[in-house]
Amino acid sequence: MNDNEVREEILRLLRDDLPIPAPAEFEQRPVVPLDRDVDGDIAVILVLRRGQAMPGARDLTYMETWTFQKRDGDWQELGGAGGTAPEKPLTRRGAAELGGHLLLHGWGNTVRNANRLLPWGAKYVHEARLQASDEVARIRFGNRTLEVPEHGHAVVVWGARRAPRAEALSADGAVLEVLDLDRSKTMLNI
């Protein structure tokens, strides 16, 4: 599946407001959508993808995020980010194995008003990719609470300058861990 086919599949999921299907077997599909977050006119989708870093190289498994903004009623791609996936990416892990209840895997920013005439005044769409332990049922980001997919990988998108805090919640609503995404970003030098 090439980039254009992946983009069309992702746009279909956004445009038609389709649920992200629970992945059965990654081995049978080159691209598997894992999670999405839509906040007003901005969105991010997380996919698991198999590919080669260069022609002739061995296949690797990647996790990619694609960010979008709705303009004039249509979703427009802003950009994306990616990196290698953990081993057995569809297997949910416990907090002891992850080193906590929430793990920040990646972070990205894309300009949402790139067509401005002057260089200052840029507005950004931010996204973070998290992995939640098997004890986490939901993650609260500011005033929004998102369900954690069964594989434990989640994404969040926001437009404010400051990142929200991520609170890992158990099934009964107890806070298991709090992750300040601004501080985590600084610690990772991202």
Q: Are 79 and 62 in contact (CB under 8 A)?
A: no
Statement: the pTM of the whole predicted model exceeds 0.75: yes
For 187, the 3-state DSSP assignment is: helix
> According to the model, what pLDDT value does residue 84 have?
84
> According to the model, what pLDDT value does residue 190 have?
44
> According to the model, what pLDDT value does residue 90 have?
86
Residue 94 makes CB contacts below 8 A (sequence gap 6+) with 133, 134, 135
Of 143, 126, 146, residue with least CA distance to 35: 146
Write out pLDDT tens, residues 136-149: 999 999 999 999 99
Q: Is 30 exposed, middle or buried (0-12, 13-18, 19+ CB in 10 A)?
A: middle
Q: Are 153 and 46 in contact (CB under 8 A)?
A: yes
pLDDT at residue 44 tops 70: yes
